[in-house]
Amino acid sequence: MRSLSGCFFIIVISFVFTFILSSIAPAEQNDPAAQPSEYSAEGETSQIDDEAVEKLRKMSPEEIEKLDKKLAEALTLYYDSEFGKAIPLFNEVADRVETMDIMWWIGTSAMKTGKMELAIDQFEKMLAANPNLYRVRLELSTIYFKMGQYDKARSEMETVKAANPPEAVQRNIDKFLTAIEERTKKAFWNVRFSQGLMYDSNASSGPGSRELSVIGGTLTLGNQSTKIRDEALVTSLSGNYLYDLGERQGVMWNTDASLYSMAYQSYSQFNYFMVDLATGPWWAGRKDIVKLPFGYKEQNYESERLSHIFHIDPSYEHFFNQYVSVKGSYSYKKEFYYKEGNALLDNTTYTYEITPSLYLANRMHTISAVAGWENRKADGRRYSYDSYYYALSYLLSLPTKTNFFVRYKWLNNDYKARPLLYALPREDKRDSVTAVISQEFLKHFFSSFAINYTDNDSNASLYKYKKMTYTLSLGFAF
């Protein structure tokens, strides 16, 4: 009687275990190769199961019935996805009679509840008893991947691949190995280029009137110093190269290069060209990112060399959770102008910013606010100022590869001295709105349409202006 009861217990466990392996639902799509396999040899017996049968033969019917009830309770919790509650019950059964089935249930329950070390222990014991349990290897590889143990994950997956699994499983394995390759890459790079046509309502950023009131009378501006309209070709090119110096979430070295050109069709004296190169270390932790770039920037204006800038731009960002982060940044710039007549414009500028961000719906919606203060110390006091500003932005990223971005910014510049021809120190208050919609297509290409509005209100009428630009661009990114 005891022998028959013991055999019945094992048969029931084996039947349920086989049923699980054949009907288990596909795992989440973001877990590479997590689809259930149909080729693994779970039906094979093992020494562990043979030992379990011997233990059952020595038990009374009452003991076996008690274990049956405990196992039934555990399985009910298991199929109700109450994995954390099921584990202790499975462990109680395993303390009396440990089988391959129970190891599987404990391992998968532990994996579902984040107890990765327990899951690894159970799956490794199963593989030690039967190395041909390829579904177990798939699950074990997934655990190693989540824990960042990519060499172990790759080894387990390649073992399954060598067993010539079905084509569907083979495809999932290839995806998994590709994901490991991405995670273990040391170097990352990207290039982005765009060419656009811009309509500018005020290419000179000049006032709307030619007649301005100044000390001693009226200042009459030339035609090209007032508000004039023009079109420009806008070219943008940027690239980034990031090298990982160690393990993930550690020290990296990043290099950025960017070029920007704005060539007006009728008034070339307003042409602008800039090239910037920056490099420096990054450090990425589980919730923190620290950047310390330093660089050099060249600027041309009116098709002539305007100035060059040395800059350092450290920043620190902390992610409280998947929804909220706060970034603090500092910038130091030392600018020198090439023309002797612009020597008073040479300056040192210090900028401080704090940026809280909110990420919603798996980062489909990003809302950011900025509060900043800038201090410019120029050789001429009338070009020196203190500035404080605020900004609010919203980014919508749709699954169709469509992005919409809008940003409002307000700033106040208080200059240290009065400008020429005016009695009071200059003060500017500026409102600006930027809106951009972009669409990716054919994998590496994109188009965008941008609108920018600026209203600079100054107590010195020479610097009071309004400006609207519309830019249509095409480009590619790799």
- pLDDT tens track for 87-117: 999 999 888 888 888 888 999 999 999 999 9
Q: Does the domain at residues 2-184 carry the CATH identifier 3.40.50.10470? A: no
**Least-confidence region, from 205-219, 228-242, 311-325:** 205-219
Task: Please state, for a pLDDT cut of 90, what percent of the chain lies above it.
Answer: 67
Q: Which residues of 142-155 are buried (b: 16+ CB within 10 A; e: fewer)?
A: bbbbeeeebebbbe
Residue 317 pLDDT class (50, 70, 90 cuts):
very high
Instruction: Kindly report, residue by residue over 269-307, the tens digit of the pLDDT.
Output: 999 999 999 999 999 988 999 999 999 999 999 889 999
The closest alpha carbon to 180, from 156, 163, 205, belongs to: 156
**Least-confidence region, from 7-11, 151-155, 230-234, 392-396:** 7-11
Gap between the Cα atoms of 86 and 75, Å rounded: 7
Long-range CB contacts (< 8 A, 24+ apart) of 274-279? 274/298, 274/299, 274/300, 278/311, 278/313, 279/253, 279/254, 279/255
Beta bridge partners of 288: 318
CA geometry: angle at 315 spanning 311 and 318, to 5°? 175
* Residue 45 confidence (pLDDT) above 80: no
More confidently predicted of 9 and 166: 166
Query: Do the beta carbons of residue 421 and residue 406 sit within 8 Å?
Result: no
* Residue 370 confidence (pLDDT) above 60: yes
Please report, for the chain, the start and end positions of each structural domain, with discontinuous segments joined by +: 2-184, 188-477
Gap between the Cα atoms of 430 and 412, Å rounded: 7
Per-residue model confidence (pLDDT) at position 16 = 41
Instruction: Kindly report, residue by residue over 128-183, the tens digit of the pLDDT.
Output: 888 888 889 999 999 999 888 888 999 999 998 888 888 888 888 998 888 888 77
Dihedral, CA of residue 430, residue 410, residue 418 and residue 458, to nearest 10? 30
Beta bridge partners of 301: 272, 304
Concatenating the DSSP letter of every residue in 349-377 gives EEEEEEEEEEEETTTTEEEEEEEEEEEEE
Considering the four listed CATH numbers 3.40.50.300, 3.30.360.10, 2.40.160.40, 3.30.450.40, the one that applies to the domain covering 188-477 is: 2.40.160.40
Bridge-based pairing of strands 251-264 and 230-244 is: antiparallel
Per-residue model confidence (pLDDT) at position 247 = 65
Looking at residue 229, what DSSP letter applies?
-
Q: How many CA atoms lie within 13 A of 319 on its CB side?
A: 11
Task: Please state, for a pLDDT cut of 70, what percent of the chain lies above it.
Answer: 90
Gap between the Cα atoms of 186 and 134, Å rounded: 30
Residue 248 pLDDT class (50, 70, 90 cuts):
low
Q: What is the reported pTM?
A: 0.69
**Least-confidence region, from 218-232, 238-252, 375-389:** 238-252
Residue written as token pair 């900043």: 372
Instruction: Kindly report, residue by residue over 418-460, the tens digit of the pLDDT.
Output: 999 999 999 999 999 999 999 999 999 999 999 999 999 999 9
* Residue 2 confidence (pLDDT) above 70: no
